[in-house]
Structure 1
Amino acid sequence: MNHTIETILEHRSIRKFTHQTIDDALLTTILNCAIAASTSSFIQCVSIIRVCQQDRRETLAQLAGGQAYVASAAEFFVFCADFNRHKQIHPEAQLGFTEQTLIGAIDAALMAQNALLAAESLGLGGVYIGGIRNNPQAVSDLLEMPSHVIPLFGLCLGYPDQHPEKKPRLPQSLVIHQEAYQPELDKQILNDYDNQTRHYYRNRSNGNKDMSWSEQITTALNKEARPFMKDFIHNKGFSTR
């Protein structure tokens, strides 16, 4: 096993950071790693907004659901799907296709994962902030995003001030399908994983959270999440056709 694999397998979300800043040269390297990620058809339809002003950080922390580490992390970035740049290059560009929305989301995720892995390999930690989509219009207004740019998620980076237990992932037997999709879920393997997840939550919460993975997704998928997103992305020029 090499250092790259060890870094990947040791991933855990960090939500508490020291006050140490990230050296400019180090940050440049991390961002270069992000930009080096694969991009569909070389379209390169992602922009990253680095937010340094403390008042903006604090506003974003509240808009993201009161996640204080958005304000306290050494660095905070917002990853955006961006076709405004392309519109400026080619004003007659045909935009609004759902496939373009998917490309923007996929490319942004690849860039962010490159950035986080690079950061973790250098002794830093981070956490993704999907809560940016709790109030997408307010985030868009705050960060002055024009049409054809939408915020997808945030990323906190900094030096860890905690070492949380790793959250267990689904085993390969439930994720990897051989040759074709296997429709029957192995209930025994799922039950074992549910027990593992329940044990993790009990340890993490000092016994205050007692929930299996199946119970968690039942709760999460029992209601519509962020129903305003469809209208928001339409108004921004995404997935209109």
Structure 2
Amino acid sequence: MSTPTIELLCHHRSIRAYTPEPVSDEQIELILTAAQAVSSSNFLQCTSIIRVTDTELRSKLAVLAGNQPYVTQAPEFWVFCADLNRHKQLVPQVELGKAEQLLVGCVDTAIMAQNAVVAAESLGLGCVYIGGIRGQIEQVTTLLNLPKYVLPLFGVCIGHPAQHPDIKPRLPKAAMFFENHYQPIQKSLIDEYNTTMANYYQQRSSNQKVSGWSDTIEKILNSVKRDTMLDYLHQQGWINK
């Protein structure tokens, strides 16, 4: 038996067009309250959110994120950051730079962002994640005045939807949900899913294309270079140990 919460989660789609109607202060407060209610590793609460309201700054971030116009069009644009700088300020002698601390910061921040997105969608709003801010992460760091031990992971656009895109079919559960041990792929499952995705791409209301799912893997993984990321992380104080 389904529930309203499950129905909401299963109807998620990325929204990239918004009406001019602003997100109200009450809605922002509710979204933030829901975001802060998440679990946090050892209750470190190592996430900070930067709400970008300056139009010039927003425009620069849109360009750095890959010329994504909805970064400027959306009523709200928030940048979610893993943040251990706050802890360093409070306890200067704390030892930072460990790989596990990076993982903790990323996990905490991703969980918080997803709570925020679900809360926003429950209020009738739409969202899209903007991982493109990592494409020019050094410039983003400078624009947002991010100190050492703060890592901008992604942005989130929030607003009233001006579009209703189709829901993308997900991988078959048997291809990603295993019991006791990891399992190699079942080619028949992936072949079936590729057919499903090819039909979806051809029939959706916009941006039709001819491909399956696995056809896109090489192009996507090879095109996202960001070869300076490790150096950047070191400069920001992450994974030095």
TM-score of the superposition, structure 2-length normalised?
0.96
The residue number in structure 2 matching 1:103 is: 104
Residues 207/144 of structure 1: CA separation in 2 closer, same or farther (3 Å cut):
closer
The residue number in structure 1 matching 2:128 is: 127
SS at match of 1:221: helix
- Following superposition of structure 1 onto structure 2, how do residues 15-26 of structure 1 map, counting pairs within 5 Å? 15-26=16-27
The residue number in structure 1 matching 2:140 is: 139
The alpha-carbon deviation at position 237 of structure 1 amounts to: 0.1
Q: Distance in 1 between matches of 2:201 and 2:116?
A: 28
The alpha-carbon deviation at position 207 of structure 1 amounts to: 7.4
The residue number in structure 2 matching 1:197 is: 197
The alpha-carbon deviation at position 225 of structure 1 amounts to: 2.5
Residues 205/227 of structure 1: CA separation in 2 closer, same or farther (3 Å cut):
farther
Overall identity of the aligned pairs, in %: 48
Q: Distance in 1 between matches of 2:133 and 2:239?
A: 19
Q: Distance in 2 between matches of 1:238 and 1:125?
A: 32
The alpha-carbon deviation at position 206 of structure 1 amounts to: 5.5
- Following superposition of structure 1 onto structure 2, how do residues 1-241 of structure 1 map, counting pairs within 5 Å? 1-183=2-184, 185-204=185-204, 208-222=208-222, 225-241=225-241
Contact 2:166–2:205 (8 Å) recurs in 1: no
Alignment length, in residue pairs?
Answer: 240
Deviations 1:159-211 (A, max 9, x none): 0000000011111010101111112x111111010011111222237675111
Q: Distance in 1 between matches of 2:100 and 2:200?
A: 38
Residues 175/99 of structure 1: CA separation in 2 closer, same or farther (3 Å cut):
same
Q: Which amino acid aligns with 2:15?
A: I
Q: Distance in 2 between matches of 1:113 and 1:60?
A: 21
Q: Distance in 2 between matches of 1:200 and 1:207?
A: 11
The alpha-carbon deviation at position 26 of structure 1 amounts to: 1.1
Residues 205/122 of structure 1: CA separation in 2 closer, same or farther (3 Å cut):
closer
Q: Distance in 2 between matches of 1:146 and 1:36?
A: 26
* Structure 1: gaps (5+ residues): none
TM-score of the superposition, structure 1-length normalised?
0.96
Q: Distance in 1 between matches of 2:207 and 2:36?
A: 42
Deviations 1:73-124 (A, max 9, x none): 0100000011110011000110000000000100010000000000101100
Q: Distance in 2 between matches of 1:129 and 1:207?
A: 19
